[in-house]
């Protein structure tokens, strides 16, 4: 039985898909009598089944070697493309994480989306969303991963554009799709090149091929950059980062998934591609540079945001930047650890945020305040999530970051980067906490009640899970490296580093508290130089730069081509037609009936022809 469950664990992502399909009768309004709720329950039930199935498979696989499953997909001539799934503790663990978070998000959505008329459609999208992420966790072939990444792009498009009558949601959905698509197509190019160079698209084969392949440096670099572009788009890294900020227009339960596991998908593929990327030092340099820029830049931008969700989504970009740096430094273990802890704690924060938005119908931090006494569970969730996201001593992220800092090969500047990001994030979270939960109640928060149970249950459960992360890490020995053993199975205790890490967070909290929580603090805080504040709050004006360069450029080129098409290419055709008509009309006056005139024209023509033929003798063949 257990064996059967393990063998069929490829089905786990399909549960989400089936659930999504099962909602169709309700989302297409073929069934209206029951209301949309049965669809939600159906989808939720399928996800739970998937979770249980995955849990059994995970348990029976624990300690066993990885298995793989191959489905032939396309055979043309010599080319054989297969879709390959890998069943390993890591992949099944990731799958469980996805299913678990999906359950949390869906139960939360039962409360959050209670009054939405399109509840069934939302759950249908969530089913597809979950299936794509779950499939990515299991996939061991770049082709399948690519397909699923694109499916994720689609689900992001659908979920962000869920409220399709809202103008901001509309452009956000489009921008999310296009930004990710640019990365995806570059990844596709890399994939096509890789298929020709390596002859296989399985991650396992690629990892074996990469060290032995001796490609010219320029080729390896171009290949690596193309492969890097996909994850850059998915993980919202500079320069393809704007979509995540805009995507916050979508419903919050989807944002929970998006900020935790969806962005992690790109990084997961990146980790799997690491052997190929490391063929070129330039690619690693670019990965590290992009990661660093995003980590610092997004942390700064986050502090200047007034939108509750956007203030948090920018820190997601920042943490994924750290993951990029880790992958660039060949520290895949650290990268996965960062992804795990970040996913758990960030989703807890977003649950709290969702609670606030659901009860106050407001996500502008300037209009919120004093919620701590009114919504204790929500406040706790937010606080615990925030504590788990920054390096606060006993919680998850501290250990992930610390694990990275004691890695023997880690360069000095990475420590500084970590401390800086930790400081800025702590400052930002303190600011958000102070504005939303601290201070005196505002008109919009005065009568805010605590969230109802469908939202409270997932919130509290995730709070507990976040608190338990260090225990999980300890229990499953995730803090120990699988590749390079950190001093023989025992995590070194380096007290100065620990203190530095904690102090960076504490400094951020202190600064934030001094600015926002001290008596008589002026809200909102204005920086001394307004231009700097504007620069940060408008995200370095990058969206405007894009609008003026890329978007305007494509539009202008399109207009020019259309003009050419209309007046040059088609104009020529029409000119021939007009010439034919005029020629005919004109020639009809030459038919005078005078024989002499005809003979004259004839003679002139013949003599002209003879003259040409004589003069061009030797040039022409006759």
Q: Under the criterion CB under 8 A, does residue 559 sit at the interface with another protein?
A: yes
Which C-beta is closer to another protein: that of 119 or that of 148?
A: 148
485 touches another protein by CB under 8 A: no
Report, in Å, the least distance between residue 278 CB and another protein: 23
Span from 68-76, 86-94, 340-348, 531-539 in contact with another protein (CB under 8 A):
68-76
Cβ 343 to another protein, closest distance in Å?
A: 25
x/- track of binding to another protein for residues 28-67 (CB under 8 A): x---------------------------------------
**Cα pseudo-dihedral 575, 576, 577, 582, rounded to 10:** 80
**Tokens standing for 533?**
């504040």
- Give the residue, chosen from 4, 558, 604, 612, that forms a contact with another protein under the rule CB under 8 A: 558
Q: Which CB, 181 or 444, lies closer to another protein? A: 181
Locate all alpha helices (DSSP H) within 139-216, ordered by sequence. Answer: 142-160, 167-198, 203-212
Residues 6+ apart with CB under 8 A from 184: 146, 149, 150, 153, 230, 233
70-99 footprint of another protein as x/- string (CB under 8 A): --xxxxxxxx--------------------
Q: Does 569 bind another protein (CB under 8 A)?
A: yes
Question: In the complex with another protein, which residue's Cβ is closer, 147 or 441?
Answer: 147
The one among 45, 55, 69, 185 contacting another protein by CB under 8 A: 185
Nearer CB in complex with another protein: 125/423: 125
Identify whether the C-beta of residue 11 lies closer than 8 Å to the C-beta of residue 59: no
Q: How far is residue 411's CA from residue 324's CA, in Å, rounded to a whole number?
A: 15
According to the binding rule CB under 8 A, does residue 116 interact with another protein?
Answer: no
Should residue 131 be labelled a site residue for another protein when binding is judged by CB under 8 A?
A: no
**151 binds another protein per the rule CB under 8 A:** yes
- Whichever of 561 and 616 has its CB closer to another protein, that residue is 561
DSSP class of residue 473 equals H
Determine if 621 is a binding residue for another protein (CB under 8 A).
no
Rounded to an integer, what distance in angstroms lies between the CA atom of residue 340 and that of residue 606? 90
DSSP 259: I
At its nearest, how many Å lie between another protein and the CB of residue 110? 22
Where do runs of H (alpha helix) occur along 23-141? 24-27, 37-61, 89-112, 119-138
Q: Which stretch binds another protein (CB under 8 A): 90-98, 503-511, 528-536, 549-557?
A: 549-557
- Helix 142-160 to helix 167-198 angle, to the nearest 10 degrees? 170
3-state secondary structure of 80: strand
Q: Which one of the spans 58-66, 193-201, 233-241, 593-601 is the region binding another protein (CB under 8 A)?
A: 193-201
Using the Cα atoms of residue 372, residue 375, residue 376 and residue 380 in order, give the sign of their dihedral. Answer: negative
Calculate helix-pair angle for 332-360, 308-328, nearest 10 degrees.
180
Per CB under 8 A, contacts with another protein among 582-611 are none
Residue 415 Cβ vs another protein, minimum distance, rounded to whole Å: 39
The Cα–Cα gap between 81 and 142 comes to 10
- Which one, 364 or 565, has the nearer CB to another protein? 565
* Binding of another protein by 311 (CB under 8 A): no
Residue with tokens 């088609």, as numbered in its chain: 570
- Pick from 4, 192, 499, 611: which binds another protein (CB under 8 A)? 192
User: Using N-to-C axis directions, what is the helix angle for 332-360 and 376-389, rounded to 10°?
Assistant: 160
Neighbour tally for 439: CB within 10 Å: 18
CA-to-CA distance for 400 and 177, rounded, in angstroms? 32
- In the bound complex, what is the minimum distance in angstroms from residue 249's beta carbon to another protein? 12
When binding is defined by CB under 8 A, the residue of 14, 66, 193, 535 that contacts another protein is 193
Q: How far apart are CA 427 and CA 429, in angstroms?
A: 6
In whole angstroms, how close is the CB of 244 to another protein at the nearest point? 18
**Closer CB to another protein, residue 51 or residue 177?**
177
Q: Pick the closer one to another protein by CB: 171 or 204.
A: 171
Region of 170-178, 336-344, 353-361, 594-602 interacting with another protein (CB under 8 A) = 170-178
Instruction: Select from 181-189, 277-285, 372-380, 428-436 the region that touches another protein (CB under 8 A).
Output: 181-189
Structure tokens at 610: 């003879």
Interatomic CA distance for residues 155 and 217, integer angstroms: 37
Query: Count of residues binding another protein (CB under 8 A)?
Result: 50
**Around 24, how many Cα atoms within 13 Å sit in the side-chain half-sphere?**
5
How many residues comprise the chain? Answer: 622
If the CB atoms of residues 162 and 382 are measured against another protein, the closer one turns out to be: 162
CA 383 to chain centre: 25
Q: Min. distance of Cβ 192 from another protein in angstroms?
A: 5
Two structure tokens written together for 85: 């799934």
Stretch that binds another protein, among 107-115, 289-297, 550-558, 606-614 (CB under 8 A): 550-558
Should residue 565 be labelled a site residue for another protein when binding is judged by CB under 8 A? yes
Closest CA to 180 of 204, 213, 151, 145: 151
Residue at token pair 């996909």: 230
Alpha carbons within 13 angstroms on the beta-carbon side of residue 249 total 24
User: 174 to each of 1, 125, 168, 184, 302, how far by Cα in Å?
Assistant: 46, 17, 10, 15, 23
Candidate residues 21, 45, 49, 189; the one interacting with another protein per rule CB under 8 A: 189
Positions in the binding site for another protein (CB under 8 A):
28, 72-79, 146-148, 150-151, 153-154, 158, 161, 164-165, 167, 169-171, 173-174, 177-178, 181-182, 185-186, 188-189, 192-193, 195-196, 554-555, 557-559, 561-562, 565, 569-570, 573, 577
């Amino acid at each position: 039985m257990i064996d059967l469950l393990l063998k069929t664990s490829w089905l786990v992502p399909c549960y989400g898909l089936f659930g999504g399909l099962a909602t169709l009768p309700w989302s297409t309004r073929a069934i209206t009598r029951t209301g949309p709720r049965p669809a939600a329950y159906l989808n939720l039930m399928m996800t739970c089944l998937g979770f249980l199935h995955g849990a059994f498979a995970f348990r029976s696989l624990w300690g066993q070697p990885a298995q793989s499953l191959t489905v032939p997909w396309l055979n043309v001539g010599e080319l054989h493309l297969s879709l390959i799934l890998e069943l390993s503790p890591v992949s099944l663990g990731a799958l469980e994480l996805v299913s678990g978070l999906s359950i949390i998000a869906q139960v939360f959505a039962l409360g959050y989306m209670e009054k939405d008329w399109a509840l069934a459609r939302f759950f249908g999208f969530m089913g597809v969303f979950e299936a794509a992420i779950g499939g990515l966790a299991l996939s061991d072939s770049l082709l399948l991963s690519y397909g699923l990444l694109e499916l994720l792009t689609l689900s992001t498009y659908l979920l962000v554009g869920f409220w399709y009558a809202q103008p901001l949601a509309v452009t956000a959905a489009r921008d999310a799709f296009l930004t990710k698509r640019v990365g995806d197509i570059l990844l596709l190019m890399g994939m096509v090149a890789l298929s020709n160079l390596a002859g296989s698209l399985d991650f396992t084969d690629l990892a074996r091929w990469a060290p032995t392949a001796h490609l010219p440096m320029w080729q390896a670099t171009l290949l690596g950059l193309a492969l890097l572009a996909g994850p850059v788009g998915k993980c919202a890294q500079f320069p393809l980062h704007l979509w995540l900020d805009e995507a916050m227009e979508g419903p919050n339960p989807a944002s929970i998934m998006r900020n935790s596991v969806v962005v992690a998908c790109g990084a997961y593929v990146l980790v799997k591609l690491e052997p190929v990327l490391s063929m070129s030092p330039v690619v690693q340099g670019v990965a590290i540079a992009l990661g660093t820029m995003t980590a610092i830049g997004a942390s700064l931008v986050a502090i200047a945001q007034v939108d509750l969700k956007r203030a948090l989504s920018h820190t997601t970009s920042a943490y994924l930047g750290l993951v990029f740096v880790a992958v660039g430094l060949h520290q895949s273990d650290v990268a996965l650890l960062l992804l795990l802890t970040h996913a758990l704690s960030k989703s807890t924060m977003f649950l709290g945020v969702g609670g606030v938005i659901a009860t106050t119908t407001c996500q502008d931090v300037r209009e919120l305040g004093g919620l701590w006494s009114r919504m204790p569970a929500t406040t706790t969730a937010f606080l615990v999530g925030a504590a788990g996201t920054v390096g606060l001593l006993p919680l998850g992220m501290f250990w992930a970051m610390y694990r990275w800092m004691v890695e023997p090969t880690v360069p000095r500047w990475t420590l500084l980067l970590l401390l800086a990001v930790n400081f800025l994030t702590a400052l930002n979270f303190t600011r958000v906490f102070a504005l939303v939960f601290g201070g005196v109640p505002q008109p919009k928060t005065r009568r805010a009640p605590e969230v109802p149970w469908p939202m409270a249950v997932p919130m509290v459960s995730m709070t507990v899970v976040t608190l338990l992360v260090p225990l999980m890490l300890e229990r499953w020995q995730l803090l120990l490296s699988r590749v390079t053993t950190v001093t023989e199975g025992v995590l070194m205790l380096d007290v100065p580093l620990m203190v530095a890490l904690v102090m960076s967070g504490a400094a951020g909290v202190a600064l934030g508290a001094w600015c926002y929580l001290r008596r008589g603090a002026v809200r909102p805080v204005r920086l001394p130089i307004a231009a700097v504040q504007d620069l940060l709050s408008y995200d370095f004006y990058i969206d405007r730069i894009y609008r003026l360069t890329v978007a305007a450029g494509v539009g202008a080129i399109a207009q020019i081509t259309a003009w050419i098409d209309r007046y040059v290419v088609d104009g020529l055709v029409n000119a021939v037609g007009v010439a034919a008509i005029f020629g005919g009309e004109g020639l009809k006056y030459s038919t005078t009936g005078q024989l002499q005139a005809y003979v004259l024209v004839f003679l002139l023509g013949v003599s002209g022809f003879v003259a040409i033929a004589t003069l061009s003798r030797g040039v022409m063949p006759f």
